């Protein structure tokens, strides 16, 4: 079967040539990539960098500084990059067109700012660094390293200038120490004076502490008095408000009294007129009574005339009783204005008159109701009428006296009206004044509340003052002790300044300036040095080339279909495995020769390097064989996806710790991770334990994949060929 397999390949020349090409695919893939990236940092002198110098220079300490020109000269002499001096406009155009990858601009104040270090607000030197990352991103990262080196050079140059000024200042400082020593002597004398003054201050502060105790007691009494005054003000406000309310009511009552006085005046006028009229009518009544008396006597002889007369008398006496009652009622208010004796006499007469008129009315009514009884009671009536006549005469005398007092009553009423008017006016003024009193008492109360708060703060403050003044007085004791120590310190200061003046006298050389400018040297010790960029990337590209070479075989060679019908699983598996594994051997040999002889890759152990290359390639082809055997054409796609996953998680360029977490988790399960790790150590170090570990792991992976592929061939053989063989009849 193996012979038939090779014959089928040989007969198809295109197929045969395609397999031959597979021998060199890792060489093309890995060799060309490594050749292209072998030593890019060794070609940096070809990288164009635009440099713009706009520095105007400056004069510092009578010395001309042109840091911008010096920096440009140093850069042009170096071979870091291809520096091109241009203007700002030309640099912008070169960046835009991609004619320069980096632009470095030195501003016009570059030298001037270098002299501001000792100023109150020093200005930093600025180098304008611009890159166009769209043209090439890595060029900007290379430029970062260059600009850091430039900054270090500028820092060293500027630091030398400052170091010179610093040492000059140290010399001046030494002279200042001498002057300071002289001043320390004066300071010592002043300290002794301070000590004397502090002792006097201590005595004064103890007196102050004693006085603050008295002040504290006084403020406590003041606070208590203010509290009492505040309580009194509260009561005063309440009383003033009540008094104000009463004054308003009193003013309203005075107004009503004024109206009553006016009504009284009008009533008295009517009253005096009525009294005069009553007196006149009473005189006529008295004459009538006298006539009536005579008529009574005549009545005894004439009943009819008596009946007619009694009817008239009944009506008259009823009106008389009503008039007397009304008169009595109207005179009640006026009687208070009369003298006491007249008041009592008039009151008695009016009462009697009122009672008599009522009796007459009652009698007249009786006469009117019973004419028959009238004749029999004429005698009694005559006697009663005699009494009435007597009372009427008294009434007439009282009315005459009352009529005589009417003028005095009217005059008193006028004076009463005038007095009540004055009273009303004054009460209104009093009510207005009470409003002001209420406002004032409220302001007084608010002021006393504020005074109470202030007095409490004053009391607290005086308490604190009393305590602190005592503490201050006690502190002066410490002050006195401190001045004594200060005096001792002043003496020591004088001695120390003299010593410092002597020590500050030093000799300065150019080496001192250089030491200040660059005090630290970096002793870089590289373990397992990598020759160049290509050597560092070689493990990644070698592993990639070997895996891609194994993957590309699937596009040319069929890993399953035999040239003839297999007679056993073993023969079928060997016939299909020999071709890819022979390609594997040639791929490994050719790639190794190109790396060692063509690219001059330095390795620490060539046999071990070849073994690692062979085992890595074997593992990759075994993996690809298993994938394609299991999944046929889909396995090619799976193999490509598996390659992409390995490229992302095998830490071929950046350390695994810098990868995303998901790829960090896949790192330990990727065959390419062990191939890259082993190649790194065999190329750049002598830690062969890592190399052996990688070889063992890759060998186990390769053998396991071969065993799994064989098992699948066995299953596939039973399914495809063993059943058909049993079905053939025996001849």
Element housing 328 (H / E): helix 303-335
For the chain, how big is the Rg over CA atoms in Å? 70
Q: Write a three-state SS string for 136-173.
A: CHHHHHHHHHHHHHHHHHHHHHHHHHHHHHHHHHHHHH
What's CA 547's distance to the chain center, in Å? 60
* Whole-angstrom distance, CA of residue 356 vs CA of residue 368: 18
Q: What is the pTM of this model?
A: 0.47
Of 102, 190, 108, 177, whose CA–CA distance to 143 is shortest? 102
* Whole-angstrom distance, CA of residue 666 vs CA of residue 674: 12
**What is the DSSP-derived secondary structure letter of residue 730?**
P
Residues 718 and 701: beta-carbon distance below 8 Å = no
* Whole-angstrom distance, CA of residue 173 vs CA of residue 58: 27
Of 120, 117, 145, whose CA–CA distance to 131 is shortest? 145
Tens of pLDDT along 357-409?
787 778 767 767 865 665 676 577 667 767 767 776 776 776 677 677 667 76
* Whole-angstrom distance, CA of residue 604 vs CA of residue 36: 23
Residues 292 and 320: beta-carbon distance below 8 Å = no
Beta bridge partners of 58: 65
* Whole-angstrom distance, CA of residue 193 vs CA of residue 382: 135
Low-confidence residues in the chain, pLDDT < 50: 525, 725-731
The string of DSSP codes covering 397-426 is HHHHHHHHHHHHHHHHHHHHHHHHHHHHHH
Structure-block tokens of residue 129: 């660094």
**pLDDT value at residue 693:** 94
**pLDDT value at residue 681:** 86
Structure-block tokens of residue 42: 């060794």
How would you classify the pairing of strands 58-60 and 63-65? Answer: antiparallel
**pLDDT value at residue 726:** 46
**pLDDT value at residue 730:** 40
* Whole-angstrom distance, CA of residue 57 vs CA of residue 35: 47
Instruction: Count CB-CB contacts under 10 A for residue 478.
Output: 11
* Whole-angstrom distance, CA of residue 588 vs CA of residue 22: 11
* Whole-angstrom distance, CA of residue 301 vs CA of residue 313: 18
* Whole-angstrom distance, CA of residue 673 vs CA of residue 227: 91
Count of H-run helices and E-run strands, the chain = 20, 6
* Whole-angstrom distance, CA of residue 646 vs CA of residue 374: 159
Close Cβ partners of 405 (under 8 Å, ≥ 6 residues apart): 338, 342
* Whole-angstrom distance, CA of residue 395 vs CA of residue 591: 169
Residues 202 and 157: beta-carbon distance below 8 Å = no
**pLDDT value at residue 327:** 73
């Amino acid at each position: 079967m193996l012979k038939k397999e090779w014959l089928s390949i040989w007969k198809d020349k295109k197929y045969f040539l395609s397999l031959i090409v597979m021998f060199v695919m890792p060489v093309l893939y890995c060799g060309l990539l490594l050749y292209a990236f072998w030593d890019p940092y060794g070609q940096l002198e070809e990288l164009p960098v635009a440099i713009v110098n706009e520095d105007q220079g400056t004069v510092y300490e009578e010395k001309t500084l042109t840091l911008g020109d010096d920096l440009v000269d140093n850069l042009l002499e170096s071979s870091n990059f291809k520096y091109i001096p241009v203007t700002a406009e030309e640099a912008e155009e070169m960046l835009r067109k991609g004619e320069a990858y980096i632009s470095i601009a030195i501003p016009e104040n570059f030298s001037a700012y270098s002299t501001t270090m000792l100023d109150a607000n020093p200005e930093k030197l600025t180098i304008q660094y611009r890159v166009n990352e769209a043209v090439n991103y890595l060029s900007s990262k290379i430029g970062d390293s260059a600009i850091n080196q430039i900054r270090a050079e500028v820092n060293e140059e500027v630091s030398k200038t400052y170091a010179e000024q610093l040492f000059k200042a140290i010399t001046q400082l030494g002279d200042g120490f001498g002057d300071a020593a002289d001043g320390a002597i004066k300071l010592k004398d002043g300290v002794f004076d301070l000590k004397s003054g502090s002792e006097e201050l201590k005595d004064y502060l103890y007196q102050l502490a004693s006085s603050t105790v008295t002040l504290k007691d006084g403020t406590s009494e003041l606070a208590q008095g203010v509290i009492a005054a505040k309580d009194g003000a509260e009561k005063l406000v309440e009383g003033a408000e009540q008094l104000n309310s009463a004054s308003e009511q009193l003013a309203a009552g005075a107004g009503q009294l004024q109206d009553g006085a006016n009504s009284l005046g009008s009533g008295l006028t009517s009253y005096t007129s009525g009294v005069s009229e009553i007196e006149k009518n009473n005189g006529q009544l008295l004459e009538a009574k006298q006539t009536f008396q005579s008529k009574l006597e005549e009545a005894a002889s004439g009943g009819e005339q008596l009946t007619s007369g009694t009817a008239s008398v009944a009506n008259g006496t009823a009106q008389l009783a009503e008039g007397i009652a009304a008169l009595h009622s109207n005179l009640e208010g006026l009687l208070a204005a009369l003298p006491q004796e007249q008041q009592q006499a008039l009151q008695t007469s009016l009462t009697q008159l009122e009672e008599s008129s009522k009796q007459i009315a009652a009698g007249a009514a009786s006469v009117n109701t019973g004419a028959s009884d009238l004749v029999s009671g004429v005698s009694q009536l005559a006697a009663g009428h005699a009494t009435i006549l007597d009372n009427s005469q008294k009434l007439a005398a009282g009315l005459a006296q009352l009529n005589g007092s009417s003028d005095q009553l009217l005059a008193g009423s006028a004076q009463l009206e005038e007095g009540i008017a004055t009273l009303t006016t004054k009460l209104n003024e009093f009510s207005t004044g009470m409003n002001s009193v209420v406002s004032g008492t409220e302001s007084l109360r608010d002021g006393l509340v504020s005074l109470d708060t202030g007095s409490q703060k004053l009391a607290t403050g005086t308490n604190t003052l009393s305590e602190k003044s005592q503490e201050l007085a006690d502190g002066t004791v410490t002050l006195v002790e401190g001045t004594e120590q200060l005096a001792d310190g002043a003496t020591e200061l004088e001695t120390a300044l003299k010593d410092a003046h002597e020590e500050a006298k030093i000799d300065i050389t150019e080496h001192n300036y250089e030491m200040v400018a660059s005090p630290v040297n970096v002793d870089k010790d590289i373990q397992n040095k990598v020759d160049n960029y290509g050597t560092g990337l070689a493990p990644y590209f070698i592993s990639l080339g070997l895996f891609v070479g194994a993957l590309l075989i699937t596009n040319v060679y069929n890993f399953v279909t035999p040239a003839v019908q297999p007679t056993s699983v073993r023969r079928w598996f060997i016939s299909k495995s020999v071709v890819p594994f022979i390609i594997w051997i040639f791929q490994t040999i050719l790639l190794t020769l190109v790396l060692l002889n063509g690219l001059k890759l330095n390795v620490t152990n060539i046999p071990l390097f070849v073994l690692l290359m062979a085992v890595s390639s074997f593992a990759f082809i075994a993996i690809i064989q298993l994938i394609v055997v299991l999944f046929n054409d889909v396995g090619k796609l799976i193999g490509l996806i598996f390659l992409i996953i390995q490229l992302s998680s095998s830490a071929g360029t950046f350390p695994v710790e810098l990868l995303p977490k998901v790829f960090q988790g896949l790192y330990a399960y990727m065959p390419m991770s062990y191939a890259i790790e082993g190649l790194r150590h065999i190329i750049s170090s002598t830690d062969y334990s890592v190399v052996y570990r990688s070889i063992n792991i890759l060998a186990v992976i390769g053998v396991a994949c071969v065993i799994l592929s064989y098992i699948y061939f066995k299953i596939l053989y039973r399914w495809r060929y063993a059943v058909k063989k049993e079905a053939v009849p025996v001849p």
